Amino acid sequence: MDHFIYRDGALYAEDVPVAEIAAAVGTPFYVYSTATLLRHFRLFDEALAGLDHLVCYAMKAASNQAILKTLAQAGAGMDVVSQGEYLRAKAAGVSGDKIVFSGVGKTAEEIRTALTGGIRQFNVESEPEMAAINAVALDLGVVAPITIRVNPDVDAKTHAKIATGKSENKFGIPISRARDVYALAASMKGLDVIGIDVHIGSQLTELEPFRLAYQKVAELTETLRADGHDIRRLDLGGGLGIPYESSNTAPPLPIDYGAMVKESLGHLNVEIEIEPGRLIAGNSGIMVSKVIYVKQGEDRQFLILDGAMNDLIRPAMYEAHHDIIPVIEAEPGMQQTAYDIVGPVCESGDTFAKGRHMAPLKADELVAFRSAGAYGAVMSSEYNSRPLIPEVLVNGDQFAVIRKRPTFDEMINRDTIPEWL
Ligand code: LLP
């Protein structure tokens, strides 16, 4: 459920007409709903009620300061994967003891920043990285809390580019080698080995792969405890999918996921941490774009929008589906037209949808891409020298620009000219 609905034929973001935002900020733009963000965070928090737990929002999904602050004020921790994300989380007021540092290639500088500023734990992905964290911790005279990310070799049954839990993926250490790697970690004086981490992929639409992975983690917890490790925290990653197509069956809900977690791991008496990104941000945001032209091709009609692959890359990169709806609702019973919906960028890959059936649209009319809150704005670029599009946050009947559109001068003047030119 989200808060982008039609009222009297006009699309609203909470209590604000989307067309009103478009008039104020111009198109294209992203708009997020505070109520939806909070609702999704709370669904996870409530699903894990009864367990000692922390929901660490995977801020890679949408990392605007205003979004982070909204979630942090509701009690969320953060999962970060770079120094930039770490500093963003801190700037949004998240304390170090609620920040988890994930990612396969943390540099010594990133480790130092986190150890100096405070960190809940590092999720370690390899032995060399473990050695690097140990070295920086010893140098600073501190002890770094760590979990080790294990790769359980399960098939997440999702798009190949976002599956991470098979042995051929670059993530984690093979679960078969876990005992040796934990023994090595325990021998390092700069490390405090507190738990196990696992994350098998993103946009999972079934619970079974999670269950398989978590059962393996449960077994490993018992084995490692028997080996003398004080395993007291399990980080279960993110990955629960969202319904992108209103016509498809919906993925399991956070409450079902929570029940499965309790069933698989509840007996272990450990603290549970999860890192959802997409489920919190995905349906909390839409991208709004304007029709520039309707173009008649040889055998099809193209809807040419002012938004493009540089603004929302998911369809080009993962063949992802986003529902695209008119901002002014079509009259009921209107004959539908099949459109290829494209942007103005000079590549055929700049196609959002092929043969999409919609009520007829004209130039200057607005459309909204649903489920664009996660991995939308954060993956955008200025390809074709198209300035980054603004982000807007709605809260009830108020809205605010939370990242403004740069002017053309600002974009151009970010470059510097060497003195010989
Ligand atoms: N934890 C770790 C270690 C991750 O790598 C990820 C996502 C998450 C948590 C959050 O997963 P989520 O709950 O959002 O599924 N750009 C792609 C998705 C990439 C996901 C990367 N890792 C897309 O647009 O579909």
Please tell me the distance from the alpha carbon of residue 200 to that of residue 214, in angstroms, as a whole number: 10
Q: Give the confidence band of 167 by pLDDT, cuts at 50, 70, 90.
A: confident
Atom of ligand 1 nearest to the CA of 375: 24
Q: Give pLDDT tens digits for 229-254.
A: 999 999 999 999 999 998 778 899 99
Residue whose tokens read 């000692």: 52
Where would I find the beta strands (DSSP E) of 327-369?
Answer: 337-342, 351-358, 366-369
Class of domain 4-31+282-412: mainly beta
Q: Do the first three CATH levels of 4-31+282-412 and 103-274 match, i.e. the same topology?
A: no
| CATH code at 103-274 | 3.20.20.10
202 CA distance to ligand 1 middle (Å): 5
Q: Which two tokens stand for residue 128?
A: 């060399």
Q: Which of 114-128, 238-252, 391-405 has the lowest mean pLDDT?
A: 238-252
| Pocket-forming residues, ligand 1, beta carbon under 6 Å | 58, 61, 79, 102, 162, 199, 202-203, 237-239, 275-279, 314, 318, 374-375
Cα 77 from Cα 205, distance rounded (Å): 24
Torsions phi, psi for 373 (to 5 deg): -70, -30
Question: What's the full length of the chain, in residues?
Answer: 421
Distance of CA 74 from the midpoint of ligand 1 (Å) = 21
pLDDT at 340 over 80: yes
Please state the rounded mean pLDDT for residues 214-238. Answer: 98
- Per-residue pLDDT, 137: 98
Read off φ and ψ for residue 61, nearest 5 degrees: -70, -40
Residue with tokens 């008649």: 296
pLDDT band, very low/low/confident/very high, at 2 (cuts 50, 70, 90): confident
Strands 121-124 and 366-369: unpaired
Q: Residues 103-117: what's their mean pLDDT?
A: 97
Mean pLDDT of 149-168: 89
Q: What is the pLDDT of residues 307-338, one digit of tens each?
A: 999 999 999 999 999 999 999 999 888 999 99
Q: What confidence tens digit (pLDDT) does each residue in 271-286 have?
A: 999 999 999 999 999 9
* 203 C-alpha to ligand 1 centroid (Å): 8
- The pLDDT value given to residue 89: 98
Domain boundaries, the chain: 4-31+282-412, 103-274
Among protein residues, the one with the nearest Cα to ligand 1's atom 23 is 375
